[in-house]
A and B are shown apart, each in its own frame.
Chain A
Protein backbone atom coordinates (compact mmCIF):
# COMPACT_ATOMS: atom_id res chain seq x y z
CA UNK A 1 0.00 0.00 0.00
CA UNK A 2 2.82 2.36 0.94
CA UNK A 3 4.44 1.57 -2.37
CA UNK A 4 1.31 2.50 -4.31
CA UNK A 5 0.93 5.79 -2.45
CA UNK A 6 4.63 6.55 -2.89
CA UNK A 7 4.42 5.79 -6.60
CA UNK A 8 1.33 7.94 -7.10
CA UNK A 9 2.91 10.76 -5.10
CA UNK A 10 6.15 10.63 -7.10
CA UNK A 11 4.33 10.54 -10.43
CA UNK A 12 1.97 13.35 -9.42
CA UNK A 13 4.69 15.61 -8.08
CA UNK A 14 7.05 15.00 -11.01
CA UNK A 15 4.34 15.61 -13.55
CA UNK A 16 3.09 18.69 -11.71
CA UNK A 17 6.56 20.20 -11.99
CA UNK A 18 7.17 19.11 -15.59
CA UNK A 19 3.91 20.53 -16.89
CA UNK A 20 4.99 23.97 -15.67
CA UNK A 21 7.61 24.14 -18.38
CA UNK A 22 7.05 24.91 -22.04
CA UNK A 23 8.55 21.66 -23.31
CA UNK A 24 7.35 19.39 -26.09
CA UNK A 25 4.87 17.05 -24.47
CA UNK A 26 6.62 13.92 -25.75
CA UNK A 27 9.89 15.06 -24.17
CA UNK A 28 8.09 15.57 -20.86
CA UNK A 29 6.79 12.01 -21.11
CA UNK A 30 10.33 10.75 -21.73
CA UNK A 31 11.93 12.54 -18.77
CA UNK A 32 9.01 12.05 -16.36
CA UNK A 33 10.05 8.53 -15.26
CA UNK A 34 13.49 9.88 -14.39
CA UNK A 35 12.01 12.63 -12.28
CA UNK A 36 9.71 10.15 -10.61
CA UNK A 37 12.59 7.82 -9.70
CA UNK A 38 14.63 10.71 -8.33
CA UNK A 39 11.70 11.86 -6.20
CA UNK A 40 11.17 8.33 -4.88
CA UNK A 41 14.83 8.08 -3.95
CA UNK A 42 15.25 11.56 -2.46
CA UNK A 43 12.08 11.42 -0.35
CA UNK A 44 13.22 8.12 1.16
CA UNK A 45 16.69 9.53 1.96
CA UNK A 46 15.18 12.64 3.55
CA UNK A 47 13.02 10.41 5.72
CA UNK A 48 16.06 8.35 6.67
CA UNK A 49 18.36 11.30 7.42
CA UNK A 50 15.89 13.39 9.37
CA UNK A 51 13.80 10.65 10.97
CA UNK A 52 10.64 11.82 9.21
CA UNK A 53 8.07 9.13 8.36
CA UNK A 54 8.43 8.57 4.62
CA UNK A 55 4.68 8.12 4.28
CA UNK A 56 4.28 11.68 5.53
CA UNK A 57 6.70 12.96 2.91
CA UNK A 58 4.80 11.03 0.22
CA UNK A 59 1.50 12.55 1.30
CA UNK A 60 3.06 16.03 1.33
CA UNK A 61 4.42 15.47 -2.19
CA UNK A 62 1.03 14.23 -3.35
CA UNK A 63 -0.77 17.24 -1.91
CA UNK A 64 1.82 19.64 -3.33
CA UNK A 65 1.60 17.99 -6.74
CA UNK A 66 -2.21 18.07 -6.80
CA UNK A 67 -2.21 21.70 -5.66
CA UNK A 68 0.19 22.63 -8.45
CA UNK A 69 -1.89 20.79 -11.03
CA UNK A 70 -5.09 22.43 -9.80
CA UNK A 71 -3.76 25.96 -9.69
CA UNK A 72 -1.35 26.28 -12.59
CA UNK A 73 -1.83 26.03 -16.34
CA UNK A 74 -0.25 23.38 -18.52
CA UNK A 75 2.60 24.88 -20.51
CA UNK A 76 3.60 21.77 -22.45
CA UNK A 77 3.68 22.03 -26.23
CA UNK A 78 2.03 19.46 -28.50
CA UNK A 79 4.48 19.10 -31.34
CA UNK A 80 5.45 15.47 -31.84
CA UNK A 81 6.17 14.64 -35.45
CA UNK A 82 7.20 11.06 -36.04
CA UNK A 83 9.20 11.62 -39.23
CA UNK A 84 11.44 8.87 -40.52
CA UNK A 85 10.85 6.15 -43.06
CA UNK A 86 9.07 2.88 -42.28
CA UNK A 87 12.43 1.12 -42.69
CA UNK A 88 13.96 3.23 -39.92
CA UNK A 89 11.01 2.58 -37.64
CA UNK A 90 11.21 -1.16 -38.16
CA UNK A 91 14.98 -1.10 -37.65
CA UNK A 92 14.54 0.87 -34.43
CA UNK A 93 11.95 -1.59 -33.14
CA UNK A 94 14.20 -4.55 -33.98
CA UNK A 95 17.33 -3.16 -32.31
CA UNK A 96 15.31 -2.10 -29.26
CA UNK A 97 14.06 -5.67 -28.99
CA UNK A 98 17.62 -7.00 -29.31
CA UNK A 99 18.96 -4.61 -26.68
CA UNK A 100 16.08 -5.30 -24.29
CA UNK A 101 16.54 -9.07 -24.71
CA UNK A 102 20.27 -8.72 -24.10
CA UNK A 103 19.65 -6.72 -20.94
CA UNK A 104 17.10 -9.19 -19.59
CA UNK A 105 19.20 -12.26 -20.38
CA UNK A 106 22.31 -10.82 -18.74
CA UNK A 107 20.47 -9.44 -15.71
CA UNK A 108 18.88 -12.85 -15.13
CA UNK A 109 22.24 -14.58 -15.34
CA UNK A 110 24.09 -12.15 -13.07
CA UNK A 111 21.46 -10.96 -10.61
CA UNK A 112 23.81 -8.94 -8.39
CA UNK A 113 25.20 -6.90 -11.26
CA UNK A 114 28.81 -6.34 -12.24
CA UNK A 115 31.67 -5.68 -9.85
CA UNK A 116 30.95 -2.03 -9.13
CA UNK A 117 27.26 -2.81 -8.74
CA UNK A 118 27.71 -5.20 -5.85
CA UNK A 119 30.86 -3.58 -4.43
CA UNK A 120 29.31 -0.11 -4.27
CA UNK A 121 25.69 0.44 -5.27
CA UNK A 122 23.86 -2.75 -4.32
CA UNK A 123 26.01 -3.14 -1.21
CA UNK A 124 24.93 0.31 -0.04
CA UNK A 125 21.29 -0.42 -0.94
CA UNK A 126 21.38 -3.67 1.00
CA UNK A 127 23.05 -1.93 3.91
CA UNK A 128 20.51 0.89 4.12
CA UNK A 129 17.62 -1.56 3.87
CA UNK A 130 18.97 -3.97 6.47
CA UNK A 131 20.32 -1.41 8.95
CA UNK A 132 17.23 0.79 9.13
CA UNK A 133 17.76 3.46 11.78
CA UNK A 134 21.38 2.37 12.22
CA UNK A 135 22.14 3.31 8.61
CA UNK A 136 25.17 5.43 9.57
CA UNK A 137 27.33 2.32 9.63
CA UNK A 138 26.98 2.16 5.84
CA UNK A 139 29.38 5.12 5.62
CA UNK A 140 31.92 3.91 8.18
CA UNK A 141 35.59 4.55 7.38
CA UNK A 142 36.27 1.05 8.70
CA UNK A 143 34.81 -0.45 5.54
CA UNK A 144 37.39 -1.02 2.83
CA UNK A 145 37.62 2.26 0.92
CA UNK A 146 37.12 0.56 -2.47
CA UNK A 147 33.45 0.23 -1.56
CA UNK A 148 33.39 4.06 -1.71
CA UNK A 149 31.20 4.94 1.28
CA UNK A 150 31.30 8.58 0.19
CA UNK A 151 29.41 8.05 -3.09
CA UNK A 152 26.00 9.72 -3.50
CA UNK A 153 22.86 7.79 -2.72
CA UNK A 154 20.29 8.21 -5.48
CA UNK A 155 20.72 4.70 -6.83
CA UNK A 156 21.24 2.80 -3.52
CA UNK A 157 18.30 4.61 -1.95
CA UNK A 158 16.11 3.78 -4.93
CA UNK A 159 17.01 0.11 -4.72
CA UNK A 160 16.55 0.08 -0.95
CA UNK A 161 13.16 1.69 -1.37
CA UNK A 162 12.25 -0.98 -3.89
CA UNK A 163 13.20 -3.60 -1.31
CA UNK A 164 10.96 -1.78 1.13
CA UNK A 165 8.02 -1.90 -1.28
CA UNK A 166 8.50 -5.65 -1.69
CA UNK A 167 9.16 -6.19 2.00
CA UNK A 168 12.32 -8.18 1.19
CA UNK A 169 15.52 -8.01 -0.80
CA UNK A 170 15.24 -9.13 -4.36
CA UNK A 171 17.76 -9.00 -7.18
CA UNK A 172 14.85 -8.11 -9.44
CA UNK A 173 14.75 -4.59 -7.96
CA UNK A 174 18.18 -3.32 -9.04
CA UNK A 175 17.78 -5.24 -12.29
CA UNK A 176 14.47 -3.55 -13.07
CA UNK A 177 15.91 -0.16 -12.16
CA UNK A 178 18.90 -0.76 -14.43
CA UNK A 179 16.56 -1.70 -17.25
CA UNK A 180 14.41 1.39 -16.78
CA UNK A 181 17.39 3.74 -16.73
CA UNK A 182 18.89 2.15 -19.85
CA UNK A 183 15.58 2.42 -21.65
CA UNK A 184 15.18 6.00 -20.44
CA UNK A 185 18.59 6.92 -21.87
CA UNK A 186 17.37 5.77 -25.26
CA UNK A 187 13.95 7.30 -24.78
CA UNK A 188 15.25 10.75 -23.91
CA UNK A 189 17.55 10.83 -26.95
CA UNK A 190 14.67 9.68 -29.15
CA UNK A 191 12.23 12.21 -27.73
CA UNK A 192 14.77 15.02 -27.54
CA UNK A 193 16.03 14.75 -31.11
CA UNK A 194 14.44 16.73 -33.94
CA UNK A 195 11.83 14.94 -36.06
CA UNK A 196 14.21 14.76 -39.00
CA UNK A 197 16.76 12.64 -37.13
CA UNK A 198 14.71 11.14 -34.32
CA UNK A 199 14.88 7.55 -35.50
CA UNK A 200 18.53 7.75 -36.50
CA UNK A 201 19.44 9.19 -33.10
CA UNK A 202 17.48 6.46 -31.38
CA UNK A 203 19.23 3.84 -33.49
CA UNK A 204 22.63 5.35 -32.73
CA UNK A 205 22.18 5.15 -28.98
CA UNK A 206 20.43 1.79 -28.70
CA UNK A 207 23.00 0.03 -30.92
CA UNK A 208 25.89 1.19 -28.72
CA UNK A 209 27.32 -1.96 -27.12
CA UNK A 210 28.72 -0.04 -24.13
CA UNK A 211 25.25 1.20 -23.17
CA UNK A 212 23.90 -2.34 -22.99
CA UNK A 213 27.07 -3.57 -21.29
CA UNK A 214 26.94 -0.97 -18.53
CA UNK A 215 23.16 -1.15 -18.19
CA UNK A 216 23.25 -4.92 -17.89
CA UNK A 217 25.91 -4.76 -15.19
CA UNK A 218 23.86 -2.22 -13.20
CA UNK A 219 26.47 0.53 -13.24
CA UNK A 220 25.42 3.94 -11.95
CA UNK A 221 26.86 5.56 -15.04
CA UNK A 222 23.74 4.74 -17.05
CA UNK A 223 21.36 6.51 -14.63
CA UNK A 224 23.81 9.41 -14.60
CA UNK A 225 23.78 9.45 -18.41
CA UNK A 226 19.98 9.43 -18.43
CA UNK A 227 19.73 12.40 -16.03
CA UNK A 228 22.42 14.30 -17.87
CA UNK A 229 20.77 13.70 -21.22
CA UNK A 230 17.44 14.84 -19.79
CA UNK A 231 19.05 18.09 -18.64
CA UNK A 232 20.62 18.63 -22.07
CA UNK A 233 17.38 17.73 -23.88
CA UNK A 234 15.43 20.25 -21.81
CA UNK A 235 17.98 22.97 -22.53
CA UNK A 236 17.85 22.17 -26.24
CA UNK A 237 14.05 22.28 -26.30
CA UNK A 238 13.65 25.39 -24.16
CA UNK A 239 11.96 28.45 -25.56
CA UNK A 240 14.02 31.64 -25.66
CA UNK A 241 14.18 33.23 -22.22
CA UNK A 242 12.32 30.39 -20.52
CA UNK A 243 13.85 30.33 -17.05
CA UNK A 244 11.52 27.54 -15.91
CA UNK A 245 13.16 25.20 -18.42
CA UNK A 246 16.60 26.26 -17.24
CA UNK A 247 15.58 25.55 -13.64
CA UNK A 248 14.21 22.16 -14.66
CA UNK A 249 17.48 21.36 -16.42
CA UNK A 250 19.24 22.31 -13.19
CA UNK A 251 17.03 19.86 -11.31
CA UNK A 252 17.94 17.02 -13.68
CA UNK A 253 21.63 17.93 -13.58
CA UNK A 254 21.46 17.80 -9.78
CA UNK A 255 19.95 14.32 -10.06
CA UNK A 256 23.10 13.35 -11.97
CA UNK A 257 25.21 14.86 -9.19
CA UNK A 258 23.18 12.93 -6.58
CA UNK A 259 23.89 9.74 -8.57
CA UNK A 260 27.69 9.87 -8.87
CA UNK A 261 30.44 12.28 -7.90
CA UNK A 262 31.23 12.86 -11.58
CA UNK A 263 27.75 14.33 -11.88
CA UNK A 264 29.01 17.37 -9.97
CA UNK A 265 31.47 18.05 -12.78
CA UNK A 266 28.71 17.71 -15.38
CA UNK A 267 26.51 20.06 -13.39
CA UNK A 268 29.23 22.70 -13.13
CA UNK A 269 30.02 22.49 -16.85
CA UNK A 270 26.36 22.80 -17.83
CA UNK A 271 25.98 25.74 -15.46
CA UNK A 272 28.95 27.43 -17.12
CA UNK A 273 27.49 26.72 -20.57
CA UNK A 274 24.11 28.17 -19.57
CA UNK A 275 25.81 31.29 -18.29
CA UNK A 276 27.73 31.70 -21.54
CA UNK A 277 24.78 30.89 -23.81
CA UNK A 278 22.21 33.02 -22.01
CA UNK A 279 24.60 35.82 -21.02
CA UNK A 280 22.47 36.87 -18.08
CA UNK A 281 22.74 36.14 -14.40
CA UNK A 282 19.08 35.23 -14.06
CA UNK A 283 19.57 32.12 -16.17
CA UNK A 284 22.47 30.92 -14.04
CA UNK A 285 20.43 31.69 -10.95
CA UNK A 286 17.46 29.73 -12.29
CA UNK A 287 19.73 26.76 -13.00
CA UNK A 288 21.14 26.87 -9.47
CA UNK A 289 17.68 27.23 -7.93
CA UNK A 290 16.47 24.20 -9.86
CA UNK A 291 19.47 22.22 -8.69
CA UNK A 292 19.30 23.46 -5.12
CA UNK A 293 17.05 20.84 -3.44
CA UNK A 294 19.12 17.83 -4.43
CA UNK A 295 22.40 19.71 -4.16
CA UNK A 296 21.46 20.64 -0.59
CA UNK A 297 20.76 16.97 0.10
CA UNK A 298 24.10 16.02 -1.47
CA UNK A 299 26.00 18.59 0.58
CA UNK A 300 24.19 17.51 3.75
CA UNK A 301 25.13 13.90 3.03
CA UNK A 302 28.76 14.74 2.31
CA UNK A 303 29.10 16.90 5.40
CA UNK A 304 27.12 14.80 7.85
CA UNK A 305 27.56 11.19 6.89
CA UNK A 306 29.94 10.46 4.06
CA UNK A 307 33.45 9.34 4.81
CA UNK A 308 35.86 12.04 3.63
CA UNK A 309 37.12 11.10 0.21
CA UNK A 310 40.43 9.41 0.92
CA UNK A 311 41.89 10.28 -2.44
CA UNK A 312 41.16 13.95 -2.83
CA UNK A 313 43.11 15.70 -0.07
CA UNK A 314 46.52 14.21 -0.81
CA UNK A 315 46.24 12.76 -4.26
CA UNK A 316 46.71 15.95 -6.21
CA UNK A 317 49.72 17.34 -4.40
CA UNK A 318 52.18 16.17 -7.07
CA UNK A 319 49.43 16.29 -9.69
CA UNK A 320 51.12 18.75 -11.99
CA UNK A 321 54.23 16.64 -12.35
CA UNK A 322 52.10 13.62 -13.14
CA UNK A 323 49.99 15.55 -15.62
CA UNK A 324 53.08 16.77 -17.45
CA UNK A 325 54.85 13.43 -17.41
CA UNK A 326 55.71 12.35 -20.98
CA UNK A 327 55.48 8.72 -19.89
CA UNK A 328 51.87 9.14 -18.83
CA UNK A 329 50.95 10.95 -22.04
CA UNK A 330 52.66 8.32 -24.14
CA UNK A 331 50.73 5.65 -22.25
CA UNK A 332 47.41 7.46 -22.52
CA UNK A 333 47.31 8.24 -26.23
CA UNK A 334 47.69 4.65 -27.55
CA UNK A 335 45.08 3.51 -25.03
CA UNK A 336 42.72 6.12 -26.33
CA UNK A 337 43.29 5.20 -29.96
CA UNK A 338 42.77 1.54 -29.20
CA UNK A 339 39.53 2.29 -27.37
CA UNK A 340 38.15 4.05 -30.42
CA UNK A 341 38.34 0.85 -32.43
CA UNK A 342 37.48 -1.55 -29.60
CA UNK A 343 34.52 -3.34 -31.14
CA UNK A 344 33.51 -5.13 -27.94
CA UNK A 345 32.60 -1.95 -26.12
CA UNK A 346 31.86 0.60 -28.79
CA UNK A 347 31.35 -1.22 -32.07
CA UNK A 348 32.10 1.34 -34.77
CA UNK A 349 30.33 4.11 -32.89
CA UNK A 350 33.38 6.03 -31.65
CA UNK A 351 35.12 5.59 -34.99
CA UNK A 352 31.94 6.80 -36.65
CA UNK A 353 31.92 9.86 -34.42
CA UNK A 354 35.47 10.71 -35.44
CA UNK A 355 34.59 10.26 -39.11
CA UNK A 356 31.63 12.56 -38.59
CA UNK A 357 33.96 15.16 -37.10
CA UNK A 358 36.37 14.80 -40.00
CA UNK A 359 33.82 14.78 -42.82
CA UNK A 360 30.54 16.30 -41.75
CA UNK A 361 31.14 18.67 -38.85
CA UNK A 362 32.17 21.56 -41.07
CA UNK A 363 29.06 21.03 -43.16
CA UNK A 364 26.83 21.63 -40.16
CA UNK A 365 26.44 24.36 -37.57
CA UNK A 366 25.22 24.66 -34.00
CA UNK A 367 22.05 26.48 -33.14
CA UNK A 368 22.66 29.81 -31.41
CA UNK A 369 21.24 28.87 -28.02
CA UNK A 370 23.47 25.76 -27.89
CA UNK A 371 26.85 27.31 -28.71
CA UNK A 372 28.47 26.78 -25.31
CA UNK A 373 26.34 23.76 -24.42
CA UNK A 374 27.61 21.88 -27.46
CA UNK A 375 31.14 22.08 -26.01
CA UNK A 376 30.15 20.50 -22.70
CA UNK A 377 30.92 16.89 -23.76
CA UNK A 378 34.35 17.86 -25.04
CA UNK A 379 35.05 19.86 -21.88
CA UNK A 380 33.94 16.85 -19.84
CA UNK A 381 36.32 14.55 -21.69
CA UNK A 382 39.15 17.04 -21.24
CA UNK A 383 38.42 17.29 -17.52
CA UNK A 384 38.30 13.52 -17.15
CA UNK A 385 41.60 13.15 -18.95
CA UNK A 386 43.16 15.76 -16.67
CA UNK A 387 41.90 13.77 -13.68
CA UNK A 388 43.23 10.55 -15.20
CA UNK A 389 46.65 12.09 -15.72
CA UNK A 390 46.76 13.68 -12.27
CA UNK A 391 45.49 10.78 -10.16
CA UNK A 392 48.12 8.68 -8.39
CA UNK A 393 47.15 5.18 -9.54
CA UNK A 394 48.43 3.16 -12.44
CA UNK A 395 47.27 5.06 -15.51
CA UNK A 396 46.66 2.00 -17.68
CA UNK A 397 44.58 0.29 -14.98
CA UNK A 398 42.55 3.40 -14.24
CA UNK A 399 41.99 4.11 -17.93
CA UNK A 400 40.74 0.61 -18.59
CA UNK A 401 38.34 0.55 -15.63
CA UNK A 402 36.97 4.05 -16.10
CA UNK A 403 36.98 5.07 -19.74
CA UNK A 404 33.86 3.25 -20.94
CA UNK A 405 31.90 4.45 -17.96
CA UNK A 406 33.07 8.02 -18.38
CA UNK A 407 32.23 7.99 -22.07
CA UNK A 408 28.81 6.42 -21.62
CA UNK A 409 27.89 9.18 -19.18
CA UNK A 410 28.08 11.70 -22.01
CA UNK A 411 27.41 9.49 -25.04
CA UNK A 412 23.62 10.01 -25.24
CA UNK A 413 24.15 13.76 -24.76
CA UNK A 414 26.70 13.81 -27.59
CA UNK A 415 24.26 12.08 -29.93
CA UNK A 416 21.48 14.43 -28.91
CA UNK A 417 23.58 17.53 -29.45
CA UNK A 418 24.75 16.24 -32.84
CA UNK A 419 21.18 15.62 -33.91
CA UNK A 420 20.40 19.30 -33.45
CA UNK A 421 23.16 20.60 -35.70
CA UNK A 422 21.77 22.02 -38.90
CA UNK A 423 23.22 21.95 -42.42
CA UNK A 424 25.43 24.97 -42.97
CA UNK A 425 23.42 26.01 -46.03
CA UNK A 426 20.41 26.52 -43.74
CA UNK A 427 22.39 28.31 -41.07
CA UNK A 428 21.21 31.78 -42.00
CA UNK A 429 17.65 30.67 -41.21
CA UNK A 430 18.45 29.96 -37.58
CA UNK A 431 21.33 32.36 -36.99
CA UNK A 432 23.60 29.44 -36.24
CA UNK A 433 27.36 29.39 -35.91
CA UNK A 434 30.09 26.79 -36.22
Chain B
Protein backbone atom coordinates (compact mmCIF):
# COMPACT_ATOMS: atom_id res chain seq x y z
CA UNK B 1 0.00 0.00 0.00
CA UNK B 2 2.87 2.34 0.81
CA UNK B 3 4.41 1.61 -2.56
CA UNK B 4 1.09 2.25 -4.27
CA UNK B 5 0.69 5.55 -2.48
CA UNK B 6 4.24 6.53 -3.41
CA UNK B 7 3.53 5.72 -7.04
CA UNK B 8 0.29 7.67 -6.97
CA UNK B 9 2.04 10.74 -5.60
CA UNK B 10 5.08 10.43 -7.81
CA UNK B 11 3.58 9.01 -10.99
CA UNK B 12 5.66 11.32 -13.15
CA UNK B 13 8.88 10.00 -11.62
CA UNK B 14 7.66 6.41 -12.00
CA UNK B 15 6.79 7.03 -15.63
CA UNK B 16 10.16 8.66 -16.25
CA UNK B 17 11.83 5.59 -14.74
CA UNK B 18 9.93 3.32 -17.15
CA UNK B 19 10.96 5.44 -20.15
CA UNK B 20 14.58 5.73 -19.04
CA UNK B 21 14.97 1.99 -18.44
CA UNK B 22 13.48 1.26 -21.87
CA UNK B 23 15.65 3.81 -23.65
CA UNK B 24 18.82 2.73 -21.86
CA UNK B 25 18.09 -0.89 -22.70
CA UNK B 26 17.60 -0.05 -26.39
CA UNK B 27 20.66 2.18 -26.56
CA UNK B 28 22.92 -0.18 -24.65
CA UNK B 29 22.01 -3.33 -26.53
CA UNK B 30 21.86 -2.03 -30.09
CA UNK B 31 24.37 0.81 -30.01
CA UNK B 32 26.97 -0.49 -27.55
CA UNK B 33 26.75 -4.19 -26.77
CA UNK B 34 25.84 -5.62 -30.16
CA UNK B 35 28.29 -3.63 -32.33
CA UNK B 36 31.24 -4.21 -30.02
CA UNK B 37 30.61 -7.67 -28.64
CA UNK B 38 28.59 -9.50 -31.23
CA UNK B 39 30.09 -10.14 -34.65
CA UNK B 40 28.39 -8.83 -37.74
CA UNK B 41 25.85 -11.17 -39.27
CA UNK B 42 26.62 -12.46 -42.75
CA UNK B 43 23.95 -12.62 -45.43
CA UNK B 44 21.76 -15.66 -44.84
CA UNK B 45 22.43 -18.54 -47.22
CA UNK B 46 25.40 -16.91 -48.95
CA UNK B 47 27.16 -20.28 -48.88
CA UNK B 48 24.61 -21.62 -51.36
CA UNK B 49 24.91 -18.78 -53.87
CA UNK B 50 27.38 -20.61 -56.17
CA UNK B 51 24.68 -23.23 -56.79
CA UNK B 52 22.07 -20.80 -58.03
CA UNK B 53 23.25 -20.60 -61.65
CA UNK B 54 22.96 -24.38 -61.88
CA UNK B 55 19.41 -24.37 -60.60
CA UNK B 56 17.90 -21.77 -62.88
CA UNK B 57 14.64 -23.21 -64.21
CA UNK B 58 14.97 -26.26 -61.97
CA UNK B 59 11.65 -26.55 -60.16
CA UNK B 60 12.63 -29.10 -57.54
CA UNK B 61 15.68 -30.77 -56.09
CA UNK B 62 15.85 -33.44 -53.46
CA UNK B 63 17.11 -32.29 -50.08
CA UNK B 64 19.65 -34.55 -48.40
CA UNK B 65 21.06 -33.93 -44.96
CA UNK B 66 22.42 -35.71 -41.92
CA UNK B 67 20.32 -33.42 -39.72
CA UNK B 68 16.69 -34.55 -39.33
CA UNK B 69 13.81 -32.15 -40.02
CA UNK B 70 10.52 -31.54 -38.28
CA UNK B 71 8.10 -32.89 -40.86
CA UNK B 72 4.93 -33.15 -38.82
CA UNK B 73 3.35 -29.91 -37.60
CA UNK B 74 1.53 -31.81 -34.88
CA UNK B 75 4.65 -33.17 -33.24
CA UNK B 76 6.74 -31.09 -30.85
CA UNK B 77 9.52 -29.31 -32.69
CA UNK B 78 12.80 -30.99 -31.85
CA UNK B 79 15.14 -30.65 -34.82
CA UNK B 80 15.86 -26.96 -34.81
CA UNK B 81 19.42 -27.22 -36.27
CA UNK B 82 18.14 -29.25 -39.21
CA UNK B 83 15.18 -26.93 -39.74
CA UNK B 84 17.46 -23.89 -39.75
CA UNK B 85 19.89 -25.50 -42.20
CA UNK B 86 16.97 -26.24 -44.51
CA UNK B 87 15.59 -22.72 -44.11
CA UNK B 88 18.90 -21.07 -45.00
CA UNK B 89 19.26 -23.25 -48.09
CA UNK B 90 15.67 -22.67 -49.19
CA UNK B 91 16.04 -18.93 -48.67
CA UNK B 92 19.10 -18.88 -50.90
CA UNK B 93 17.84 -21.19 -53.63
CA UNK B 94 14.20 -20.12 -54.00
CA UNK B 95 12.23 -20.60 -56.23
CA UNK B 96 13.69 -24.08 -56.55
CA UNK B 97 11.80 -26.25 -54.07
CA UNK B 98 13.98 -28.31 -51.75
CA UNK B 99 11.90 -31.48 -51.52
CA UNK B 100 12.62 -32.89 -48.10
CA UNK B 101 10.47 -36.00 -48.24
CA UNK B 102 8.96 -38.22 -50.87
CA UNK B 103 10.36 -39.73 -54.03
CA UNK B 104 13.95 -39.53 -55.20
CA UNK B 105 14.78 -36.77 -57.70
CA UNK B 106 17.62 -36.60 -60.18
CA UNK B 107 19.21 -33.51 -58.66
CA UNK B 108 20.08 -33.56 -54.97
CA UNK B 109 21.13 -30.72 -52.71
CA UNK B 110 23.38 -32.14 -50.04
CA UNK B 111 23.45 -29.91 -46.98
CA UNK B 112 25.31 -31.60 -44.18
CA UNK B 113 26.27 -30.47 -40.72
CA UNK B 114 29.87 -31.44 -41.39
CA UNK B 115 32.09 -32.38 -44.34
CA UNK B 116 32.68 -36.01 -43.24
CA UNK B 117 28.96 -36.68 -43.43
CA UNK B 118 28.88 -35.47 -47.01
CA UNK B 119 32.01 -37.48 -47.81
CA UNK B 120 30.26 -40.63 -46.66
CA UNK B 121 27.21 -39.84 -48.77
CA UNK B 122 29.38 -39.32 -51.86
CA UNK B 123 31.42 -42.44 -51.10
CA UNK B 124 28.22 -44.48 -51.12
CA UNK B 125 28.48 -44.36 -54.89
CA UNK B 126 24.90 -43.24 -55.49
CA UNK B 127 25.76 -39.74 -56.63
CA UNK B 128 27.92 -37.70 -58.97
CA UNK B 129 29.15 -34.38 -57.63
CA UNK B 130 28.15 -31.47 -59.87
CA UNK B 131 29.44 -28.68 -57.66
CA UNK B 132 30.73 -28.55 -54.12
CA UNK B 133 30.97 -24.95 -52.96
CA UNK B 134 31.78 -25.94 -49.38
CA UNK B 135 32.93 -29.06 -47.57
CA UNK B 136 29.46 -29.76 -46.25
CA UNK B 137 27.43 -28.53 -49.23
CA UNK B 138 27.18 -29.99 -52.73
CA UNK B 139 24.86 -30.30 -55.66
CA UNK B 140 24.70 -33.95 -56.62
CA UNK B 141 23.09 -35.90 -59.40
CA UNK B 142 21.68 -39.29 -58.67
CA UNK B 143 23.32 -42.09 -60.69
Contacts and interface: CB of A to CB of B under 8 A. Distances in A.
Interface in A113-164: 115, 118-119, 122-123, 126-127, 130-131, 134, 137-138, 140, 142-147
B40 A311 contact: no
A98 B26 CA distance: 7
B74 A207 contact: no
B83 A355 contact: no
B43 A171 contact: yes
Given A207-B19, A355-B14, A394-B77, A102 B26 contact: yes
Interface stretch (A12-20, A226-234, A344-352, A419-427): A344-352
A140 B17 contact: no
Contact of B94 (A130, A142, A207, A208): A130
B95 A138 contact: yes
Interface in A249-271: none
B98 A143 contact: yes
Q: Is the interface of B mostly helix, strand, loop or mixed?
A: helix
Contacts of A216: 30
Interface stretch (A57-65, A103-111, A296-304, A380-388): A103-111
Interface in B53-92: 59-60, 69-71, 73-77, 83-84, 86-88, 90-91
A106 B30 contact: yes
B27 A102 contact: yes
For the residues of A in contact with B, the DSSP-based class is: helix
B44 interface: yes
Contacts of B121: none
A246 B88 CA distance: 43
A360 B8 contact: yes
Interface string A198-215: 001001100111001000
Contact of A348 (B21, B45, B70): B21
Interface string A303-347: 000000011001100000000000000000000000000011001
A355 B35 CA distance: 34
Contacts of B13: none
Interface string B5-39: 00110010011011111110111011100110010
A310 B73 contact: yes
A359 interface: yes
Given A123-B91, A207-B19, A359-B4, A111 B41 contact: yes
B87 A142 contact: no
Contacts of A203: 19
Given A204-B19, A315-B74, A397-B76, A98 B94 contact: no
A122 B44 CA distance: 11
Contacts of B129: none
B19 A91 contact: yes
Contact of B74 (A95, A311, A349): A311
A165 to B, nearest CB: 20
Given A171-B43, A358-B4, A146 B70 contact: yes
B90 A95 contact: no
A225 interface: no
A106 B31 CA distance: 8
A301 to B, nearest CB: 18
B73 A311 contact: yes
B106 to A, nearest CB: 16
Interface in A350-384: 352, 355, 358-360
Given A102-B26, A348-B17, A348-B21, A144 B95 contact: no
A101 interface: yes
A112 B69 CA distance: 22
Contact of B90 (A91, A143, A204, A359): A143
B99 interface: yes
B87 A146 contact: yes
A294 B58 CA distance: 33
A282 B99 CA distance: 50
Given A147-B87, A200-B15, A118 B31 contact: no
Nearest to B39: A109
B75 to A, nearest CB: 8
Interface string A180-218: 000000000000000000001001100111001000100
A344 B76 CA distance: 27
Given A101-B30, A311-B74, 11 more contacts: A99-B26, A122-B91, A127-B94, A137-B95, A143-B98, A146-B83, A204-B19, A209-B22, A349-B22, A359-B7, A394-B77
23 contacts: A95-B19, A102-B27, A103-B30, A111-B41, A112-B44, A112-B45, A112-B91, A118-B45, A123-B87, A130-B94, A143-B98, A144-B83, A146-B83, A204-B15, A207-B22, A209-B22, A216-B30, A315-B73, A343-B21, A347-B25, A355-B7, A355-B14, A392-B76
The 6 closest A-B pairs by CB, nearest first: A207-B22, A102-B30, A347-B22, A131-B95, A310-B73, A110-B41
